[in-house]
Amino acid sequence: MKCNLGDAARISYHGGCFGRRAGARQPPAAGGVTLLDKTTVGENPVARRVPPVTQEMREKYHQLVDYLHDQGSVAVAFSGGVDSTLLLHAAHEALGEKCLAVTARSESFPQRERNEADAFCEREGIAHVLVDSEELGIPGFDHNPKDRCYLCKSELFQRICSVARERGVAHVAEGSNVDDEGDYRPGLRAVAEQGILSPLRHVGLRKAEIRALSRELELPTWDKQSFACLSSRFVYGELISRTRLAMVDRAEQELLDLGLTQVRVRVHGEKDPIARIEVIPEEFGLLVAHAAQVAANLRALGFSYVTMDLAGYHTGSMNQSLGEARA
């Protein structure tokens, strides 16, 4: 079912950054954003992997802002993560008050993420709406089928489209990037079916480029860990429940509180659940140094066994059993 929102009034373009290319719409100088030509990074291992911004990246950002401006008005599905934050920033630059952020409130989306999303919108002066996404009420969702992400995204986009219609917003946009096309992402089927815009993919932006541009724009998410909903931590076919989601949420918070920058707690088994911890290889030592503490704390949360994955963190590791993953 398409997310048909109707027409919305166009507004004048404002804001700007990077220095516009020849022939592009020129924003008023007073509304511009001054970018820093920063190439140094801190000690965060995620930050050390971020490349310097190139002219090609800047050109893609220009194209992104122009594309969003051409939509007239946009509601951004905003998680507060790396990708959707850059998308929302660009949408606000292009559309001003004709840009709306919509964030899901659900059992699989941690409160800390909602707080960060809300803080960003407040800081930037962007209208922000929370919607309740009740994925655990979707028939079959709690059995964690292979198309779980499709079921969740379908329900979520329907709710965001409803908000957009109520507010006279012309389009809904989401923050997938080009790298997502190389992994098993059933949620992208919901994007296509409902006519949701994917502006970052439209202009060809990859994750590393999004981080680099975010750093130049001084967005707080430029070195933030990649995040996926907590439901992605479970083996396909095994139970997802509020209790088990809360276990994962609290376990990952324990690890983040140690100073780890990119973590996943994958859950294997229902009766005697195993916590398989993924961190980036640069932080193996930090995790091992706190091994006894981590094991005790996670067992107290309800895990029977606590392990560390020697392969380290990698996107979509639960998809390996499907034979469709990017390991």
pLDDT at 70: 98
Q: Which CATH number fits domain 29-216: 3.30.56.10, 3.40.50.620, 3.30.465.10, 3.20.20.140?
A: 3.40.50.620
Q: Which residue has the higher pLDDT, 38 or 222?
A: 222
pLDDT at 23: 35
Q: How many whole angstroms separate alpha carbon 289 and alpha carbon 283?
A: 10
Q: Residues 261-318: pLDDT tens digits?
A: 999 999 999 999 999 999 999 999 999 999 999 999 999 999 999 999 999 998 878 8
pLDDT at 47: 78
pLDDT at 18: 52
Inform me whether the pLDDT recorded for 1 exceeds 70: no
pLDDT at 11: 33
Q: How many whole angstroms separate alpha carbon 278 and alpha carbon 280?
A: 7
Tell me what the mean pLDDT of segment 7-27 comes to: 39
Residue 128 · residue 101 · CB < 8 Å:
yes
pLDDT at 6: 55
pLDDT at 150: 95
Q: List every span in the chain annotated with CATH 3.40.50.620.
A: 29-216
Q: List every span in the chain annotated with CATH 3.30.70.
A: 230-322
> Shortest CA distance to 143 belongs to which of 275, 236, 270, 269?
236
pLDDT at 31: 35
Q: Residues 60-107: pLDDT tens digits?
A: 999 999 999 999 999 999 999 999 999 999 999 999 999 999 999 999
pLDDT at 318: 84
Domain 230-322 CATH assignment equals 3.30.70? yes
Tell me what the mean pLDDT of segment 173-193 comes to: 92
| Dihedral sign for Cα atoms in the order 229, 233, 236, 237 | negative
pLDDT at 35: 35
Per the prediction, the chain carries an average pLDDT of: 87
- Continuous segment of H or E residues that includes residue 274: strand 274-279
pLDDT at 41: 38
